Amino acid sequence: MALNKEDVASIVTKFGKNEKDTGASEVQIALLTQRINTLTEHCKQFKKDKSSQRGLLMLVGQRRRMLKYIQRTDLERYRTLIKELGLRK
């Protein structure tokens, strides 16, 4: 369920300022979104895996808090990030 190095590197180069910019909020939210998507597929397949469901809910809450921070600080950056990640249709 963890992301491999190639996936992480591609997300960091797409959303970060350079290839080592893993601390940017956009990069962290994009990584969380990727983890949420893979964990969602896992939970669909294994419906009785309650610990993974709890982990999924915790990741969604963490992403929500980070999105709230970006929305509060820079609204335009928030809107572009939402559009690129395909959230809130």
CATH number of the domain where residue 64 is located: 1.10.287.10
Number of domains in the chain: 1
Cβ(88)–Cβ(80) below 8 Å: no
Q: Which domain holds residue 66?
A: 5-85
Long-range contact set of residues 64-68: C-beta below 8 Å, sequence gap at least 24: 66/25, 66/28, 66/29, 66/32, 67/29
The stretch 19-31 carries a mean pLDDT of 93
The stretch 77-87 carries a mean pLDDT of 95
Residue closest to 81 by CA, chosen among 31, 22, 44, 46? 31
How many degrees, rounded to 5, is the angle at CA 8 between CA 7 and CA 10? Answer: 65
> In this model, does residue 89 exceed pLDDT 70?
no
Q: Which two tokens stand for residue 72?
A: 């509060």
Spatial separation of the C-alpha atoms in residues 85 and 69, rounded to whole Å: 17
Would you place residue 88 in the very low, low, confident or very high pLDDT band (cuts 50, 70, 90)?
confident
Model confidence pLDDT, tens digit, residues 28-79: 999 999 999 999 999 999 999 999 999 999 999 999 999 999 999 999 999 9
